Structure 1
Amino acid sequence: MRDHNDPTPHHEAIQDLLIEEMRRDLARPKWWRTIWGRISIVSGVLILSSTAVAALVLLESRPVSDTLVVHCLESPSRAPDGSLPGAAVSIAAPDGVVPIEDAEAICAQMWSSGAFGEEDVLNPTPLPGEAPEEFTLCVTEDGEAAVAPGRIECSVLHLHPYQPNVPTGR
């Protein structure tokens, strides 16, 4: 029977439904305790950890281990096919090892000689060019020096930053 002073029809039935819904909400497990919640947490952890490992591997400084080849890059970006744009140089040295300190000088010499910027790659006498003021020395996955024009982060080229060989105190 309806109380004439209560403005809501079916007041007690609605109140019972609300109490039942609140009990269901309180009994429902938290989202992180459900199977989908746990899958989401594990997926997120895996994605974050794999991204962190990839970043650490890419940003890890490396010494140059192969001093026979120096890559002189024409631009501070990769070619559309993923290769390094420019030229690889190998210079004979008395002991067969090119000092890595000379890598930037070698590339500056290539820039000055007109090796980069020439429209006709078959021109036997290219016009002299202008070398960039600064270079960045990076290291390829194979341990070879890669010298890019300008000051850039090696990770932009998917290369490692250069770490000079520091002799240990043994």
Structure 2
Amino acid sequence: MSPAYDRDDMPEMTTARTDAIRDALMTSIRTEPERKRRTLRRRFALWGGIGILAIGGVATAATAVVSAQHVTNTDGVYCFASAERGANGEFDMSGATMYDPEAHGGRVENALEMCRMMWRQGVFDKDHDPLAATSAPGRVPADLQVCVMSDGTAAVVPGRPGVCQAVGLAPEKTD
């Protein structure tokens, strides 16, 4: 059955057609606010996420540049065995200092070399016995970074650049 047409060659406005148009308009009116809210939420989530990522990236870059510090406490050095926390939540590390009787204390002039020496002596090997007369030589990690602890003491951590921030320390400022 084909629809009836009026004089202008338009479909005739029957009661059924009028009711269908009214139902379509009412459905559109009822669902339009929800569709707008959904669209607005999606846009907010998308642009908000992009904004957070951008701010985070800038903050991370600024932290890496701004937070570099000088070693101010040369009485000792901490040598980290790894850049990962142990089961107790602490880092496996060993402290060292050099004793100079003339200076009435110790001064660590080269933290990196001090920790390399400890690695070569096998201090960080699992089966190292500090009381043994001799021990097997240890392997020095390829990448060691000098970081600065909150009290200004040097801490040498195995890892690539950026490992200081990863373990919550400031990188050493070298200028």
Q: Report the CA distance between 1:71 and its aligned residue.
A: 0.8
Amino acid at match of 2:115: C
- List gaps (5 residues or longer) in structure 2: 5-13
**Does the CA contact (< 8 Å) of 1:136 and 1:150 recur in 2?**
yes
Give the aligned partner of residue 83 of structure 1: 90
Counterpart in 2 of 1:114? Answer: 122
Q: 1:25 to 1:70 in 2, by over 3 A?
A: same
1:48 corresponds in structure 2 to 52
SS at match of 1:75: strand
Equivalent pairs counted in the alignment come to 154
1:149 and 2:155 aligned: no
Distance 1:9 1:62, change over 3 A: farther
TM-score, normalisation: structure 2? 0.63
Q: 2: CA distance between counterparts of 1:13 and 1:95? A: 100
TM superposition shift of 1:139: 1.9
CA distance in 2, matches of 1:113, 1:126: 9
C-alpha distance in 1, partners of 2:152/2:62?
14
* Residues 150 and 29 of structure 1: CA distance in aligned 2, closer, same or farther (over 3 Å): closer
1:68 match: 75
RMSD, aligned CA: 4.0
Distance 1:111 1:20 in 2: 78
**Letter in structure 2 aligned against 1:85:** D
The corresponding residue for 1:19 is 25
- Residue 117 of structure 1 deviates from its aligned partner by 1.1
Q: Higher relative contact order at CA 8 Å, sep ≥6: structure 1 or structure 2?
A: 1
- Between 1:68-77 and 1:145-154, the stretch displaced more is 145-154
CA offset at residue 56 of structure 1? 6.0
Q: Deviations over 1:108-136 (max 9, x none)?
A: 11122222215154533241423424421
Structure having the higher Rg: 2
The secondary structure found in structure 1 opposite 2:83 is coil
Q: Percent identity?
A: 21
Q: CA separation in 1, counterparts of 2:119 and 2:74?
A: 20
What is the CA–CA distance in structure 2 between the aligned matches of 1:130 and 1:122, rounded to whole Å?
13
Structure 1 residues 118 and 24 mapped into 2: Cα distance closer, same or farther (>3 Å)?
closer
Gaps of 5+ in 1: none
Q: Distance in 1 between matches of 2:171 and 2:138?
A: 25
1:54-91 Cα deviation digits (max 9, x unpaired): 74686332222322221111123232333221201122
2:16 to 10, 17, 34: 10
Question: 1-side partners of 2:28 and 2:63: how far apart?
Answer: 52
Partner of 2:156: helix, strand, or coil? strand
